[in-house]
Homo-oligomer: A and B are copies of this chain.
Amino acid sequence: MEDVAERAGVSRALVSLVMRDSPKVSEKSREAVLKAAGQIGYRPNLMARSLASQRTMTIGLVLNDLHNPFFAELADGVHNAAVDAGYRVVINSGFGTAEGESGAAATFLEYRVDGLIMAGPVLSDSQIENIGDETRLVLIAREIPMRTADMVTNDDAVGAQLAIDHLVSLGHTEIAHVDGGVGAGAAGRRAGYVQAMKAHGLDRSVRIVPGDFTESSGAAAIDRLIGHDSPPSAIFVANDLSATGALHRLEQLGLSLPEDISLVGYDNTALAALGHIALTTVNQPRELMGGLAVKMLTDRIESGGEAGTHEVIAPTLVVRSTTGPAR
């Protein structure tokens, strides 16, 4: 910067003003500075700038796991909204583990990011609370009882209800649910399933088999469900990957969808959209959720408000080829 100033024949302070697009610089000086900067390939040093201004203009994004397409799409929403608001976002993966996640968060904390967004964190409530004490924090797809963070989640109960309503409207009455265990949102989906079944007077048909968001657990669930007395005519699975595993096992068993059995997943990941899978599934508006998280964060950064807001987004149902009329 010193060099730029010298070359342009002005002071360092003036260069600083130009780099920050300050309006109080004469057109002439501005041009001279920009020209000089271009000539020597000057690039502002973010570390120095942030150290002095106490602002980084960057948002840290910790993704539960890079492999899950759900988070990749969430990242798009976060990125777009952040850029619109004048922030840059830097990403880190938690690799699905508590250690990875706290490491990722620690990095951002040491970098003094202006705010942190954690998508589907697996850390304990208290660990998350600690992070929220150190920086402005927004959680996506995870709720904690403390008010140290803002949260944006989708309404899992409504999502489950959407799925069940759809199946019931197709004439299904024997509808089983493949659970997601401790996976994010699984509890809400399970509760929503039970509730929706009751609402349709199908209390006695409620049937839940365990699962854990993996492909293999979906296949295993089918083995428990089919081949015994009174197999269900439709299945609501707590996530797309497990649903895909279930789909495959059903076909191995010689059943065809949706003629013999109907299947609904959750999340509407890219996987579900594959022509080959074409899974009917519940969609979480990821772009919207990511954008909302950014808005909550930047609002807080700029207004200095308190944390504790919780936005709940309504999911939608995407009907594809795995659901059809009951026979």
Say yes or no: B111 contacts A270, CB within 8 Å: no
A223-261 contact mask (Cβ, 8 Å, vs B): 1 or 0: 000000000000000000000110111010000000000
A165 in contact (CB, < 8 A): no
If over half of A's interface residues share one DSSP class (helix, strand or loop), that class is named, otherwise mixed; here it is helix
CB distance from A140 to the nearest CB of B (A): 15
A91 in contact (CB, < 8 A): yes
Say yes or no: B274 contacts A244, CB within 8 Å: yes
Question: With a CB–CB cut-off of 8 A, which chain B residues contact A48?
Answer: 47, 51
A287 in contact (CB, < 8 A): no
Give the number of times this chain occurs in the complex, counting copies: 2
CB distance from A302 to the nearest CB of B (A): 21
Say yes or no: B88 contacts A90, CB within 8 Å: no
CA distance A47 to B55 in the complex (A): 11
Say yes or no: B46 contacts A111, CB within 8 Å: yes
Interface residues of A in 250-296 (CB under 8 A from B): 251, 270-271, 274-277
A109 in contact (CB, < 8 A): yes
A50 in contact (CB, < 8 A): yes
A9 in contact (CB, < 8 A): no
With A51-B48, A66-B72 known to touch, is A244 a contact of B276 (CB < 8 Å)? yes
A: which residues have CB within 8 A of B? 41, 43-48, 50-51, 56, 58, 66-67, 69, 72-73, 75-76, 79, 88-93, 95, 103, 106-107, 109-112, 134, 215, 219, 244-245, 247-249, 251, 270-271, 274-277
